[in-house]
Structure 1
Amino acid sequence: MYTNPQYTVSVDMITYKHERFIKQAIEGVLMQETSFDYELIISDDCSPDNTQEIIEEIKKNHPKGDKIKYFRHKQNIGMQANGTFAFNQCSGKYVALCEGDDYWTDPLKLQKQVDFLEANPEYVLSFHPISILKNDGTIVDDFITNVPKDYETIETLARLGNYIHTPSVVFRNVIAELPFEFQLTPIGDYFLYIILAQYGKLKYLEEKMAVYRYNVGVISKMSNIDIANNNVKMYSCMIGYIKDENVKKIIIDKQIKVVTEHYKQIEASYHNAFVSRNFVFVTIKKINFYSKNPKLFLKRIKKKFKFCFP
């Protein structure tokens, strides 16, 4: 929660094994041109690569390196715990998000989003479109999310799911403490937006000001069953936190739908991996088929052992 008048914005950056990306992420923050002061909170979840060395070099030699407050955990604590820790270090009036594998492209990004929130107190969060950097190095328009017309309310966010990209977000630092359920959810960003949407409306600024790296994060590489499992866990955590009955009903309905689809996926996976390929089940299936088609069975036997028949 906002505690320090020194900083208008705290930039929240979590990182883990981002040695190939972290420099670009940090430089996108430090290039910001603002009429206010801001800080960059970097929380490193004990990266086993050269992430630490790169951050410390930038902090030491960059002209704005003094804006960086770097924290490194002695052991890996997990994404959500690391995210909660980083958030708790943010003392600015506003919080901006940029994970260590994404980056900002507009030097006026923070100024534009803060200006809007300053002038419109009924809004708690602003976000914007992003470009997507694919594995082959090409940068394309966003093909992941679709922002609806009626995007501003928590009901729409709950009903349609997450249409907000993390590196596009700036929000008011109004959360006194993240709920304990936040530590348990495998998906933190959507849960965070649901929490914030209880404090005000959401604003979509139609300017591309950041890049999201596609298929780099852990979730991008998950199977459909793993994704469904994570969604079930996330909705369970949300239900325990949300107080508004209408929003809670929306989330419960979504959870029931995901559980139903999750069961179908598991059943199909089991059938494909075991039943349909198991010798016993295949044999039983064939016996059942040929019992209903004896002539076809005899024809197949003759073909297989044609040397035995005149």
Structure 2
Amino acid sequence: MENKELTVSVNMITFKHELYIKQAIEGVLMQQTNFDFELIIADDCSPDSTPEIINDIIKNHSQGHRIKYFRQDKNIGMQENGIFAFSQCLGKYIALCEGDDYWTDPLKLQKQVDFLEANPDYVLCFHPIKILRPDGTIDDDFITKVPENHETIETLARLGNYIHTPSVVFRNVTRSLPFEFRLSPIGDYFLYIILAGYGKLKYLEDKMAVYRYNVGVISRMSALDIANNNVKMYSCMIGYLTDENIKRIILDKQIRVVTEHYNMMESYYEEKMEAHYKDAFVSRHFIFIKIKMLGFYYKNPKLFVKKIKKILSK
């Protein structure tokens, strides 16, 4: 339930962020506002020194009283931890900043809340960010390109996610996230699609946050894993959405990803088999050719072995 006296809840999920969490928290606590805000930290049972760093800030920082810290008893995964954190946010607005990113402008919250207060037809506002590379250099955003017509759910559905998480402030319009969201392996894009059903999106001009490149879970995933997660996410979106036009757009995206995913899988397993058998067979040997033709049996090892035995018995 929304707290009428609390304007913003900052939602921060964290896991094994001992190198980054202090900077993330301090970027929130330095905010200068004419309203009250809180920082919700949901720690997914970090095994490193992340909890000690957080507790030290709560105890010793002059703004530590704003922090509500929750530590899971066991690791429940990023999506479940994020849903838990969302359920703890009682403010009129919710801001996002994961534990490995950070804010750079002390007026960030004030600017974004002022915009949303003055423009009730907008549900969410976001802004450009800087990107911190692993070597320590900071660049302008080279990952996303925000389209000119960025405000509608149709554009967001058609072009994909062009919103960086640490830039987001949105109205706390939904008391609980839908069942389909819990099943999705990707949360941020799905959340923005949900919110875009309540109003327009606004891109502000000030650069007020930094995103760490090649640090998060997604950065360490293979192209196959990313494609697989996208297929699952689109399925969950289609189950949630009621607007037929938006559902059709998402379905078309899913079909394209499925096709790309199949092609990647076919290429991957062909390369694996060729590498495995190249020392035993000449590439044009009939057995090797037959094995390449059987790549689509990789999901059923027993059937694959049966087919190989049949080939060898000829």
With structure 1 as the length reference, what TM-score do the two structures score?
0.90
Q: Which runs of 5+ in 1 are unaligned?
A: 289-310
Deviations along 1:111-168, one digit per CA (max 9) or x if unpaired, are 0000000000000000000000000000001000000001000000000000000000
* Residue 166 (structure 2) aligns with: 167
In 1: Cα distance, 2:201 partner to 2:32 partner: 24
Detail structure 1 runs of 4+ shifted over 3 Å in the superposition: 279-282
| Deviation at residue 282 of structure 1 after TM alignment | 4.2
Which runs of structure 2 are paired with 1:228-307 in the superposition (5 Å)?
A: 228-275=227-274, 277-279=276-278, 282-283=281-282, 285=284
Q: Identity percentage over the alignment? A: 72
In 1: Cα distance, 2:223 partner to 2:286 partner: 34
Which runs of structure 2 are paired with 1:3-82 in the superposition (5 Å)?
A: 3-82=2-81
In 1: Cα distance, 2:286 partner to 2:68 partner: 70
* Residue 305 (structure 1) aligns with: none
In terms of Rg, which structure is larger? 1
Is the 1:276–1:282 contact (alpha carbons within 8 Å) kept by the matching residues of 2?
no
In 2: Cα distance, 1:179 partner to 1:114 partner: 25
Which runs of structure 2 are paired with 1:88-99 in the superposition (5 Å)?
A: 88-99=87-98
In 2: Cα distance, 1:145 partner to 1:12 partner: 22
In 2: Cα distance, 1:123 partner to 1:110 partner: 16
In 2: Cα distance, 1:287 partner to 1:167 partner: 56
* Residue 116 (structure 2) aligns with: 117
| Deviation at residue 276 of structure 1 after TM alignment | 5.7
Is the 1:275–1:281 contact (alpha carbons within 8 Å) kept by the matching residues of 2?
no
In 1: Cα distance, 2:9 partner to 2:195 partner: 16
Q: Which runs of 5+ in 2 are unaligned?
A: 288-314
| Deviation at residue 186 of structure 1 after TM alignment | 1.0
* Residue 189 (structure 1) aligns with: 188
* Residue 148 (structure 1) aligns with: 147
| Deviation at residue 182 of structure 1 after TM alignment | 1.2
| Distance 1:256-1:287 versus aligned 2 partners, 3 A rule | closer
| Deviation at residue 222 of structure 1 after TM alignment | 0.9
CA RMSD of aligned residues (A): 1.4
In 2: Cα distance, 1:44 partner to 1:280 partner: 49
Q: Which amino acid aligns with 1:138?
A: T
| Deviation at residue 279 of structure 1 after TM alignment | 3.9
The size of the alignment, in residue pairs, is: 287
**Structure 1 position 200 matched with structure 2 position 199:** yes
Deviations along 1:215-245, one digit per CA (max 9) or x if unpaired, are 0001011111111001001101101001100
| Deviation at residue 286 of structure 1 after TM alignment | 5.3
In 2: Cα distance, 1:284 partner to 1:96 partner: 57
| Distance 1:203-1:274 versus aligned 2 partners, 3 A rule | same
